[in-house]
Structure 1
């Protein structure tokens, strides 16, 4: 026991934990300020300081941010933008994850002539900056009649995200023994049966990795939202930007902070509920190969 205690108190361990603690504090201070400011009244903000707790805890700023704050010429809060993001993110995440699973399965276990070239070209999409595809994607959506629509945003995020999900699933399925697939073929299982009954049940960790990755990227995206959407189809990031930059007199920092917290809550919930699967999926092959 003594040796174990001495090991804990070594200078190197103390330095490591102290560094981690400082990093944690530095990371959480802005979040702490946002939370307590969102519950302050305008008087509290003027009379106190950033780190002070509100004298009277109030949810008025949250209510206003959700339902009546001005985001340009309209004063309907960020609720409409929030639901736009839900309608955009959920189908985009599900479709890109499903396509990535099928692509990864084919590239890992049903190799064909030119599959390596196809995979390399697909990976090239992971390194394309967002700005490169703005003009061609805008032209494509215009020809499809989907410009400035939520459906158009879904397509944009699916196209851009499928390269990442394919990479994740392909690297995960490479670790599945080929003998398992061959045995299933000998038993008469086909392409769909092997995928649905053998690979998918063991793919929960990597599915969660893709869901968390895609949801975070799509929900937090601003560039695609501001370029490919307008009016009633804009996502929460654009609505938050409009709210913060709309001036109607006195600057209401509590409302701005409440709106920012509303925009951040879905990704926070996803990480809290599925974070352990994210780590498990990464260590199971998502970043190997």
Structure 2
């Protein structure tokens, strides 16, 4: 295989891409540098300067003792609350999306296309427009201001997106595969469990990454439908940054912001390439 020729245009392209990457990573780099600085050094120096002496005290305080309003217990409890919300919400919405996509693709019924179009409208409904009816629904179900209530909200709102992902992926699966299974005597659930799910790996990765990111970064639902220790980490981070008691500790604020962002960063670093593969896997039928 011949090596690509090094030309002025190629060098310019790589230089431009490198510049874009560095520019894009600049905010994260600034937060990391300033989160490991002493407060006196941060006040006396520049935000863009390298730390002269590294300290992880801001991280420890952000995690365990920073004030998030009237309490000073750090982000630790809210972090695990977010985990308790994200994990079941992602699993349930992914499973529902896979099942809905399977039904809408392989087991068409009268009006299924209209049903799918109506379901897709859920992807375009603004968050703000469902706050009041959702609050009424949570109250009637008896799960208002609770972790199960937030899980329910994210499952309901996320199912439209997961259904879209799985339905578009399953369209590329040959119909003969399902027909052959029917001839062999496989029923509705057996085909789904033994044939469809095992070949759904790429789109499952896409859905998990998408849902994890959306739910973990959510602020609106968290601040409206929860309070106190039942709030997710995004709400706690907002409370921490806006707390005006005592001296403003910008290094602690930046450490807290990085802590809140770490899970989504790790997900994209570990599985980012599979996200693109999964999105393109069902792009062409046949």
The one of 214, 217, 220 aligned to 2:211? 214
Q: Residues 168 and 286 of structure 1 are in contact (CA less than 8 Å); yes or no, is this contact kept in structure 2?
A: no
Structure 1 distance, partners of 2:57, 2:209, is 31
Shift of 1:10: 4.0
Structure 2 distance, partners of 1:128, 1:196, is 32
Which residue pairs with 1:112 in the alignment? 109
How is 1:177-256 mapped onto 2 (pairs within 5 angstroms)? 177-256=174-253
CA RMSD of aligned residues (A): 1.6
Which residue pairs with 1:39 in the alignment? 36
TM-superposition CA deviations, 1:6-27 (whole Å, max 9, x none): xx3142x344323322221111
Distance 1:286 1:39, change over 3 A: farther
Q: Residues 40 and 57 of structure 1 are in contact (CA less than 8 Å); yes or no, is this contact kept in structure 2?
A: yes
The one of 17, 20, 23 aligned to 2:17? 20
Structure 1 distance, partners of 2:83, 2:160, is 22
Report the TM-score, using the length of structure 1 for normalisation.
0.95
Which residue pairs with 1:126 in the alignment? 123
Which residue pairs with 2:58 in the alignment? 61
Equivalent residue pairs, number: 285
Q: Residues 172 and 283 of structure 2 are in contact (CA less than 8 Å); yes or no, is this contact kept in structure 1?
A: no
Shift of 1:3: 8.7
Structure 1 distance, partners of 2:239, 2:185, is 58
Structure 2 distance, partners of 1:176, 1:16, is 38
Secondary structure, aligned partner of 2:282 = helix
Structure 1 distance, partners of 2:131, 2:13, is 44
Report the TM-score, using the length of structure 2 for normalisation.
0.96
Q: Residues 34 and 51 of structure 2 are in contact (CA less than 8 Å); yes or no, is this contact kept in structure 1?
A: yes
Asked if 1:71 corresponds to 2:74, the answer is no
Q: Which runs of 5+ in 1 are unaligned?
A: none
Shift of 1:188: 0.8
Q: Residues 38 and 254 of structure 1 are in contact (CA less than 8 Å); yes or no, is this contact kept in structure 2?
A: yes
